[in-house]
Structure 1
Amino acid sequence: MGKFYNSLLFAAFFLFSQAAFAQLSLSGKITDSNNQPVPGATIKLIETGTAVSTDQNGSFGFADLKAGSYTFSISYIGFETRNVKFNLSSTQNKLNIVLHEQQNALQDVEITGRKEKSYKNTKSFSGTKTETQLKYVPQSISYVTKEVIDDQQAFRAGEIIKNVSGASTFSYYNNDITLRGFRTSTALINGLRTSTEGWSQPILANVERVEVIKGPASALFANTDPGGTVNTVTKKPLDENRKAISFGTGSFNTYRMSADFTGPMNENKTLLYRLNLAYQNAESFRVLQGGEDFMIAPSISFIPDDKTLVNFDLVYSKSKSRLDRGQPIFGATAGTDLFSTPISFAIGKRNDFLNELNLYVTTSFQRKISDKVTFNASYMKFMYDEDLLEHRTSNRYAVDQAGVSIPTLMEMQTIRRQGKNYNDNISLYLVSDFKTGPLEHKLVTGYDYLQNQTPVGNSSYNARGYLNAARTGSINSYDPLKSANYAIVGGRPVPNVPHFDLVNPDYSISEISKYINVSTQTEPAKYYVNGIYVQDQIKWGKWRALLALRQEYYTDILAFKKATEKRVEQSALIPRIGVVYSPLEEVSLYGTYTEGYQPQGATTVGAPEIYGGPFDPLISNMYEVGTKTELFQKRLSVNLAFYRIEQNNTLINAGDGVNPDLLRQIGQQRAKGIEVDINGMALSNLSITANFSYSEAKITKSTIAGEQGSILPNAPKVQGGLWAKYNFLIPELKGIGLGAGANYTGKRNTLSTILTLPEYTVFTGALYYSVDKFKLSANLNNVFNKTHWVGGYDFNRLYPGAPRNFMMSVGYTF
C-alpha cells in the first residue's frame, strides 16, 4: 500500500511540475473608454522587454510564457500609459485593458519630451508660444516627426524638406529653402532664434521633429521671412527608459552611427536625462565632396516639484567637408542642354576644406506662481566657427592678351577664411489663465531680446586676378587696353592663381602660399532686437480666437567698435488675428490674418545721401483659411490651407541719371495657393505622410522691364510627395515592413532669366525587418536614377539631386 501512495504522490508531483513549467499563451484586447478597439497600441512585457502591437481589432497575444506573475506596460498616442500586473496560469490567460484618454496639463515651455511614436504630431509650441493642440492653432504648421526621419534614414535637414507642402530646395546650404514661393533663411531651435551663418545643413540625430510655421511669424518670433519659418524641436528627456543604437552603411562610401538614450536618473523621476550621439563619414556623388560629421547632444530636465520645471541642453556639432559651390555649365546660353555636363562635375582642389563647429547651450525654466499664472524663461547661446580654404572660380573665363575669352579655362581665386559668430536669444513671458463671463482666456505677455555679433579678429586671406608686370602684386581683373601693366607669357596674362582646365580637370593639391595673397580683417558687426508682445487665446464653446500684437525695435550698429560707430534703428508694430471653429471634436475650421517684417540693410538705411530714403522695413501680410481634420480615431490628420501672402517695400533702383545708386521703395511680391498635408496612420499597420501644393508666387510691382508678372526663383507652381510604410500582420510575414514614396517638383525659374530648371519625379523604396529588439532597414533612393536638379542660381551654380543610392542599417533597442 505504501508503494501505491508513493507512486500516486510521484505522479501528482510530476503532473504538477509539468503544469508549472508548461509553455502558455496569453491573449487580450485593448479598448478605449467607449469600448472601441485601439489598434496600434504597444503592449510591452517588462520582464523580458518583448513588445507587440494590437491589430485592427485591438487584439494582441504573447506565446511561450511560463505560468507566473508578469507586468505589462500598455501605451498609445493620446492615451495614458498603464502598467498592469497579471498572474498567468492555464486557467487565467485573457488580459483585457481599457485605456483612458490623456488629460495631462500642457506645458508652457518644452521641458519633457514627446512620447508619441507616429508620423502624426498632436501638439506644438511654435504656433502660440505655449503647448497647444495643432488643430486649435489658426495657422498652418507642417511638420516631419522623428519616426519619418528614421524610416527614411535621413541624416541632414535638407533630406526631409520633400515631406513638407510648399517647400523646395534653393541650394545645398544651411536652411536655404523656398517656402510658399519666398526664399527663407530664418531658423529657430525650440522657438529661439539661431545663427544661419553656416554652410552645412543641420544633423537630425537629436531632432524630435521639424516644424514649418507657414507664412509670416513675426508676431511671435521677431523679424521673419514672409513664406514661413523653420523651427527645429530637439529631443527632450522622457520619464521612461528608452535606449537605441544604430549602425549604417550605404552608397558613396557612407559609414554612420547614432545612439539615443533617455530615462529617469533617480527613483522618484525628478531628474531625467537624454543623450544623443551621431557620427558619419561619407563621400558624395560629386567630385571632392562629402566629409565627416560628429555630434553629441546631452539634455537634462529637473522637476523638483509640481510647480517647477528646468531643462538644460547642449549641442556640439562638428563638420569637416569642402564647400560645394554647385555644378557649373560654363558658356551656357538660353537653351543650353543641362545634361551637357555631368552632375558630378565640381571645381576645386584636394587640399580645400571647410571645418565648421556649431555649439549651443539652451536653458529653459518654468515656475507656477499660482494655479493660474506661470512664468517662463529661455536663453540660448549659439556659436558658429568657420575655418575655410577653397579654390573657386571668379565666375568668368580666362582671357588672352587681346582680352578674348578662352572657354576651356576658368579664372580662379582662393579664399582662406577664419571667423566666429555669436548669437544670444532671451525669451521671458507670463502665461495667465482666467475667465471673463463665458470666455476662457490664456493670456501671454512677453519680452524677447536677440543679439548677433561678429567679433573682432575674424579675417580672410585671398588671392585672385592677374600678376602685374613686375610680378610683385596682382590686379583683380584684366584690361587689354592696359596690357603693359600685366605679366604676359605666351600671349596670355599670367594668372595669380592658375586657371582651371575644364577639359582636363586637375584636382591635385595646390599650395596657396605661392600666390600673392591679400589679408583682410573682417569688420566686426552687431545688431540687436527688443520686442514686447501680448497674445490672448480666447475660448467660447466651439469657438476659439487668437489676438496678438508685437512691438519690435531693431538696431543695427554700423562701424561697430570704431570711433565712427553709428546706430541705425528700425521698428514695426505687428498684429495677428485668428479664429477657429470646431463643429466636431475631430474637425476645425480656421481663418487668420497676420503680418511680418524684415529690416532693410543697415548700410542702405544708414546712408540716405547715397541711397535715398528714409526707407520702411519690408512688410508682409497673409490671409489664410483652412480646415484641420482628424480621421480614423484621431490617428490620421488631414490639413487643408488656402493662402495669400504679399510682401511690400522692396527696394529697387530708381534709375536716376545722376546717382546710379539711388533706390526707391516700390517693389512687391505676392503668392497665393493651396496646400494639403496628411500625416499619421490610415490603418494600425499603415503609416502615411503626404503633401501637395499649388502656388503662384509672382513679382507684382517692378520698374524693370519684363519683370512684373514673372515667377519668383525656385518657386514651382506644383509640387507634392507621398511616403507610406506598411507592416505585415499575418504570422507568416510577421516583422516585415515595406516603404515606398514619390516626390514631384514642377518647373522653376532661377536667378538667371535664361535658365529654367526642369520638372522631375523621384521614387523611393524601403524594406524593414524587425525581430526581437533588432530592426533591419534598407532604403533605395531615386529608384529609377532620374537626373534632376533640386535648386540653382544660374548656369554656374546648379544643385543636382543625388543619383540612385542606397542606405542599410541595423538598429537595436533596449
Structure 2
Amino acid sequence: MQTTGVTPTRCSHSSSTTEASAVPASSSLSLRTGWPLMTVALAQSLAVTTGFAADDAAVDPKDPVLELPKLSVEEQRRAVSSPKFTAPLVDTPQTVSVIPKEIFGQQGAASLADVLGNTPGITFLAGEGGHVAGSNSIVMRGFDAQGSIFIDGVRDSGNYGRDVYNLEQVEVVKGPAGDNGRGTAAGYINLSTKAPVSQDMASAVVSYGFDEYASIDRQRATLDVNRSTDSLLKGSAFRINVLGQDSGVAGRDYAEKKTLGIATSAIAGLGTPTRVTLSYQHDQQNDRPEFGALGGIVPDTSASTRPLQTVDRSRFYGLLSDYDDVTLDVASVRVEHDFTPTIRATNVTRYSNNDRKAIYTVPGGLDQRPDMTSGQIVEIVTTSRQAFAREVESIVNQTNVASQFTTGKFDHSFAGGLELIRENGHTLRDWTGLGTTGDITKTVNVTTAGVPTTPTVVTGTSPYNPNPARAITGFAPVYAFVDDIRIDTAAIYAFDTIKLTEKWQATGGARLERYKATYDVRAVATGVVSPFEASDTLLTGKVGLVFKPAPTGSVYASFGVAAQPPGTNNLSNDNGSRNNGTPGTTGQNSPNADPQESYNYEIGTKWDLFQRKLTTGLAFFRSERTNIAVATDAGTGVPTIYGDQIVQGVEISASGRITANWVLFGGWSYLDSENRNSTSTTQDGSNLTFTPEFSGNLWTTYRLPFGLTIGGGTQFTGSSRVSLTNTSLAELPEHWVFNAMAAYEVTKNLSVRLNVSNISDELYARAINNNSNRTYLGEPRSFLLTAEYKF
C-alpha cells in the first residue's frame, strides 16, 4: 500500500489514455409522470463534496473550470465514475462523497460497512429477519438504503456482505436521487471497481489482525496485478485481483469470515477511439455468522433486563454448525467509442447472480425469573433458529452518449441513454423445523392478569458461558412458500449542464422509467400459486443552478425528486425468513398503492483549495419522503391513508491534501428528523429511527521526510431512537471511536503498517434491534499488521 499519501482518484472504466477519466456528476430532476416540470422550484439545499480533488499539477487554477467547446470527453476531469454526471463535483449541486481506495486501504477496511464510516449520517440496522447486519442493512440520513447499492452504475440487488478488494472507490450520493431509477429518500451508493490501465503495476498485501479477547485471529491476503499486453495486441492490458480471507470477527468468539475471490478484466483498444473491456468477478463466502450480543451489557441501552454479573463481550450465542454462505458471479462487457473528441458512446452489458443460503441461531431475551422448583434465579438466554435462502439474478444493458457542444451562446455537457433491466429473485420463505437448542432448562410460574396459568419450561443457554456445541433437537427444515420475483425496467434519461455565462451554470435532467414487478408465490403444501403484479411509469430527475464566484468554487441551489414504486425493494429487503415477508400484497406493496416519492432541496457551496487538492463543502438540505402507507383497507389491502417523513440538516466536509504530505478526510452532519402519521398519536411527530442528530468522522495522515507516515482519526455517532413511538425512550447510545495508524517504507517496494482500532477499548453498540435486547457490538481495541510489496 502506498504510504506517502493519497493520489487523486478517477474513473478507471473509460480511458483512451494512460489515465482514466469519468463523466462528471449531473444533478437530475425527479418527477413522477404527470407532475408538471415547470412547477419545479429551486429551493433550500446544499451539497457537500467529499471526494478527493483532482490533481491540477497541469492545470492553471485561473482557467475557467468548464470550457466545454475546448475540452474533449477525456480532458474533463471527474471524480465520479457514472457517465450520467455532467459536471465536475465542485459544480454538482448535490451532496456527493467519494471515498478512494487510498483512504480505506490505509484504514485496513475490508467491508463496505468499514468504508462507509468515512462519511457522516450513516447507521446500520441489527439484521432483523436474516439481514446481513452492519454490512447491507444501511440507513442513510434517516432512510433505508439497502436497495440502493450499485456496482459501476448497475443496481446490485441482494442481501449479502460486500468486500472491497476489487474496489477503486466508493461513491455516496446523498438525498433523493432518481439518476438510476427506483430512487429512495436516502440516495444511493455506487461501488466503482478496478479496471485495466496501460501501466504495468502489481502489489501483494497480507495482513494479520488480533485483539485482547477470545476471537479468532484475522488473516487476509490480496493480490492486484495489472499488465500491459501491448506486444501481443496493441492497446491491450489485463488486470487480476485475488482475495483470500480466513478470519474471525474482532471481539467475538467462534464467529468466522472466510472468503475467496477473484476478479479479472481485460481491455483492448487503449489509445484508440474504440475500447472493449471484459470483466468477471467470482466470490465465495463461507461464514459462521454472529447475530449479536446481549443489549443489556452495553451501558445506556434500554434493554429490559441486564445480566446480574459481568458478561465478557466476546460471548457467542450461536452454534458451531451455523453457516452463512454466499456465491457471487458478475460478468460484464463494456464497449466505448469516441466518434469525435467531444462525443462518446458507451454500452455496458452485465450479468450478475448472488446466491445466499444461511441457517443461524439468534439470541433473544435474557430470562431472569426464578426456577419454581428451587426458588432461585436462573439466568437463561433464549435463542431462536432462522434461515435465509434467496438467489438474485439480473441482466442489464445500458447505453450512454456523452457529448459537449454549443447552441447559440450556451455550452453544453450532455449525457443521455437507455437502460434495459431484468431482475429475478427466487426466495424460499417461512422456514420451520429448524430445531431448538439449549443446554439449560428451568420451569417458571406464569401469571396472566394476576391469575396463575400453566407453568412454562424455558430453554436456552448461559449468558456467561454459552455452549456453541449444544445439541439441536427437532432439526428437519422445511419452507412453506417459494417466491419468484421478476422486475423489468426500461428507461431513457437525459442530463445536461449548461454554461450560461462565465459565472452561471444550470444542471438538470430527467429519467422516464417504465417498470413491471411480477411475483408468483407458491404454497409448497398445496401447490397453489398466488400471483401479484404492479406496474407504472415514472418521470424523475433534478434541476440545479450553480453560481461560480471563482473557477475553483461554486454556490448552488437544487431540487430533485425520486420515486420507489410498490414491490420493487423486495430483492434486497430482509424478509426472506419472516412470515408473509415477501412479497406481501397489502399496504405499500399493494398493486394499487401510490409510489413513494422523495423530494430533495439543497443549497450549498463547494470549494477546491490548495491548487484544487483539497475539496471542501457545506450543505443545507431537506429531504421529504411521502406516500408512506400508514392505514390499509382490511378487505382490499389498498392503502387508505399515507404519511410523510422529513429529514433536514447540515453537512460539512473536507477531503484531499492540505500539503504534499498532509492528507485530510472528514465530515460532520446534523440531522433533524420527523415522522408524520395522522393515524397514530404516539408516532406522529416522533424522530425517525436510527437517525442521530450529530455524527462525524475524521481521518488524517502526515508523511515525515524519512518514510514514516503517521495518522489516525475518530468517528462519532450521536444517540438515535430505536422506535418510532413517542412513548418509547429506547435509544442506540452515542459513541466515540478513536483509531491510529503508522506506516513505514522499508524499501521502495516494501511498506509495513500498524493500525490500532478503538484505542480506548470503548464498549459500544454499532447496531441494536427494536426491543434493545440484542446488539451488534462495535470492534474492541484491536490491532492490524499489514505488509505490502510492489513488484
TM-score, normalization by structure 1: 0.76
> How far off is 1:774 after superposition?
1.1
Q: Where does residue 767 of structure 1 map in the other structure?
A: 742
Task: Describe the shift of the 1:674–1:296 C-alpha distance in structure 2 as closer, same or farther (beyond 3 A).
Answer: same
For residues 9-43 of structure 1, give each alpha carbon's deviation from its aligned partner in whole angstroms, at most 9, with x where no partner exists: xxxxxxxxxxxxxxxxxxxxxxxxxxxxxx9999x
Q: Where does residue 36 of structure 2 map in the other structure?
A: none
Task: Describe the shift of the 1:405–1:278 C-alpha distance in structure 2 as closer, same or farther (beyond 3 A).
Answer: farther
CA contact (8 A) 1:347 1:392 kept: yes
For residues 206-251 of structure 1, give each alpha carbon's deviation from its aligned partner in whole angstroms, at most 9, with x where no partner exists: 1111010111121x20012212211111112121122111111121
SS in 1 for 2:254: coil
Which of the numbers 541, 550, 558 marks the counterpart of 2:519?
A: 558
Q: Where does residue 651 of structure 1 map in the other structure?
A: 629
Identical aligned residues as a percent: 22
Q: Which amino acid aligns with 1:431?
A: A
Which of the numbers 93, 101, 104 marks the counterpart of 1:146?
A: 101
CA contact (8 A) 1:334 1:754 kept: no
Q: Where does residue 641 of structure 2 map in the other structure?
A: 665
> How far off is 1:432 after superposition?
3.5
> How far off is 1:799 after superposition?
1.6
Q: Where does residue 282 of structure 1 map in the other structure?
A: 247
Give ranges in structure 2 of 5+ residues lacking alignment: 9-53, 60-65, 127-132, 211-215, 438-444, 449-453, 523-527, 569-579
Give the Cα separation in 2 of the matches to 1:350 and 1:395.
21
CA contact (8 A) 1:452 1:526 kept: yes
Q: Where does residue 44 of structure 2 map in the other structure?
A: none
Q: Where does residue 785 of structure 1 map in the other structure?
A: 761
Q: Where does residue 52 of structure 1 map in the other structure?
A: none
> How far off is 1:388 after superposition?
1.8
Q: Where does residue 333 of structure 2 map in the other structure?
A: 363
Q: Where does residue 574 of structure 2 map in the other structure?
A: none
Give the Cα separation in 2 of the matches to 1:792 and 1:578.
38
The within-5 A match list for 1:369-388 is 369-388=339-358
Q: Which amino acid aligns with 2:158?
A: T
SS in 2 for 1:347: coil
The within-5 A match list for 1:130-145 is 130=85, 132-145=87-100
Q: Where does residue 19 of structure 1 map in the other structure?
A: none
SS in 1 for 2:780: coil
Q: Which amino acid aligns with 1:532?
A: I
Task: Describe the shift of the 1:129–1:405 C-alpha distance in structure 2 as closer, same or farther (beyond 3 A).
Answer: farther
CA contact (8 A) 1:215 1:228 kept: yes
> How far off is 1:648 after superposition?
0.3
Which of the numbers 655, 679, 683 marks the counterpart of 1:679?
A: 655
> How far off is 1:615 after superposition?
2.1
CA contact (8 A) 2:586 2:637 kept: no
The within-5 A match list for 1:593-632 is 593-601=559-567, 614-632=592-610
The within-5 A match list for 1:379-778 is 379-392=349-362, 408-409=379-380, 412-415=383-386, 418-455=389-426, 458=428, 462-463=432-433, 492=456, 499-502=460-463, 504-508=465-469, 510=471, 514-540=474-500, 541-559=502-520, 565-601=531-567, 614-653=592-631, 663-729=639-705, 734-751=706-723, 753-772=728-747, 773-778=749-754
Q: Which amino acid aligns with 1:782?
A: N
SS in 2 for 1:287: strand
Task: Describe the shift of the 1:616–1:399 C-alpha distance in structure 2 as closer, same or farther (beyond 3 A).
Answer: farther
Give the Cα separation in 2 of the matches to 1:543 and 1:405.
77
Task: Describe the shift of the 1:599–1:401 C-alpha distance in structure 2 as closer, same or farther (beyond 3 A).
Answer: farther
Give the Cα separation in 1 of the matches to 2:332 and 2:134.
24
Total equivalences in the alignment: 680
> How far off is 1:197 after superposition?
2.1
The within-5 A match list for 1:249-398 is 249-251=208-210, 252-267=216-231, 270-284=235-249, 285-303=251-269, 306-329=272-295, 341-392=311-362
Task: Describe the shift of the 1:381–1:407 C-alpha distance in structure 2 as closer, same or farther (beyond 3 A).
Answer: farther
Give the Cα separation in 1 of the matches to 2:177 and 2:75.
19
Return 393-402 or 712-721, whichever deviates more: 393-402
Which of the numbers 102, 125, 128 marks the counterpart of 2:81?
A: 125
CA contact (8 A) 2:312 2:464 kept: no
TM-score, normalization by structure 2: 0.78
SS in 2 for 1:129: coil
SS in 2 for 1:616: coil
> How far off is 1:564 after superposition?
5.6
Does structure 1 residue 192 correspond to structure 2 residue 154?
Answer: yes
Q: Where does residue 245 of structure 1 map in the other structure?
A: 204
Q: Where does residue 167 of structure 1 map in the other structure?
A: 122
> How far off is 1:503 after superposition?
5.7
CA contact (8 A) 1:215 1:622 kept: yes
> How far off is 1:294 after superposition?
1.7
The within-5 A match list for 1:212-251 is 212-218=172-178, 220-251=179-210
> How far off is 1:754 after superposition?
3.9
> How far off is 1:290 after superposition?
2.3
Q: Where does residue 106 of structure 1 map in the other structure?
A: 73
For residues 121-152 of structure 1, give each alpha carbon's deviation from its aligned partner in whole angstroms, at most 9, with x where no partner exists: 952133x6157421122212102111101211
Give the Cα separation in 2 of the matches to 1:226 and 1:803.
33
CA contact (8 A) 1:418 1:459 kept: yes
Q: Which amino acid aligns with 2:608?
A: E
Task: Describe the shift of the 1:765–1:423 C-alpha distance in structure 2 as closer, same or farther (beyond 3 A).
Answer: same
Give the Cα separation in 2 of the matches to 1:459 and 1:662.
24
Q: Which amino acid aligns with 1:441?
A: H
Give the Cα separation in 2 of the matches to 1:801 and 1:178.
17
Give the Cα separation in 2 of the matches to 1:680 and 1:333.
40
CA contact (8 A) 1:408 1:501 kept: yes
SS in 2 for 1:149: helix
Which of the numbers 160, 165, 172 marks the counterpart of 1:205?
A: 165
> How far off is 1:635 after superposition?
1.3
Give the Cα separation in 1 of the matches to 2:185 and 2:292.
26
Task: Describe the shift of the 1:409–1:193 C-alpha distance in structure 2 as closer, same or farther (beyond 3 A).
Answer: same
Q: Which has the larger radius of gyration?
A: 1
For residues 236-267 of structure 1, give each alpha carbon's deviation from its aligned partner in whole angstroms, at most 9, with x where no partner exists: 21211221111111214111211111132114
Give the Cα separation in 1 of the matches to 2:175 and 2:376.
46
CA contact (8 A) 1:328 1:346 kept: no
CA contact (8 A) 2:323 2:360 kept: yes
Give the Cα separation in 2 of the matches to 1:330 and 1:465.
26
Give ranges in structure 1 of 5+ residues lacking alignment: 1-38, 43-75, 82-100, 110-120, 468-477, 482-487
Give the Cα separation in 2 of the matches to 1:343 and 1:465.
26
Task: Describe the shift of the 1:522–1:613 C-alpha distance in structure 2 as closer, same or farther (beyond 3 A).
Answer: closer
The within-5 A match list for 1:84-99 is none
SS in 2 for 1:249: strand
Give the Cα separation in 2 of the matches to 1:754 and 1:634.
46
SS in 1 for 2:392: strand
Give the Cα separation in 2 of the matches to 1:392 and 1:739.
38
> How far off is 1:567 after superposition?
2.8
RMSD (Å) for aligned C-alpha atoms: 3.8
Task: Describe the shift of the 1:672–1:345 C-alpha distance in structure 2 as closer, same or farther (beyond 3 A).
Answer: same
Q: Which amino acid aligns with 1:160?
A: V
